[in-house]
Amino acid sequence: MTTRIVIFISAVAVAAASVVPAVPLARVDPFPQYSYGYDVQDALTGDYKGHQEQRNGDLVTGSYTVVDPDGTRRIVDYAADPINGFNAVVRREPLVVPARVVAPAPAPLFAPAPAPLLAPAPAPVYPRAPVYPRAPLYAPAPAPFLGPRPYYL
């Protein structure tokens, strides 16, 4: 009985493998042409990059730019064709930060009040204290220490 099951499964597998699905024929453009590009300028995140590419038949040319973390702009110009393959030229340029134009501060609507024209008051002059012979300074002798007293006395 198991031999019949194995033969049946094998026959089904051979039948399923021999069926080839029909492949639809795709239309191929003999001379493809396109052109595209994008440019990102995001000052909030510091993301500056761009890319442009053109294709004319088998020749593809383009370039892209990206700002590297070291403060330089990397520019890559490339070309690709079936004869020469892919060729790229990489250039680096220092990043030029645009100068900010600062508008001058507007003039105040009201002028500040002028300083008062009063002269400062002269410093007070005190008479000198009379000089008397000084008496010797002494302090009374400290009270003798009798030690701790018991609380019940």
Q: Which residues pair with 60 in a beta bridge?
A: 55, 80
The span from the CA of 65 to the CA of 59, in Å, is: 21
Structure tokens at 62: 């383009």
| Nearest Cα residue to 64 out of 94, 44, 54, 56 | 54
Provide the mean pLDDT of the chain.
Answer: 79
How much is the pLDDT for 128? Answer: 74
Task: Give per-residue pLDDT as tens, 92-101.
Answer: 998 765 556 6
Task: Give per-residue pLDDT as tens, 62-101.
Answer: 999 998 888 889 999 999 999 999 999 999 998 765 556 6
The 10 Å Cβ neighbour count of residue 105 is 6
Given a contact cutoff of 8 angstroms between Cβ atoms, the answer to whether 34 and 54 are in contact is yes
Write down the domain spans for the chain.
Answer: 30-96
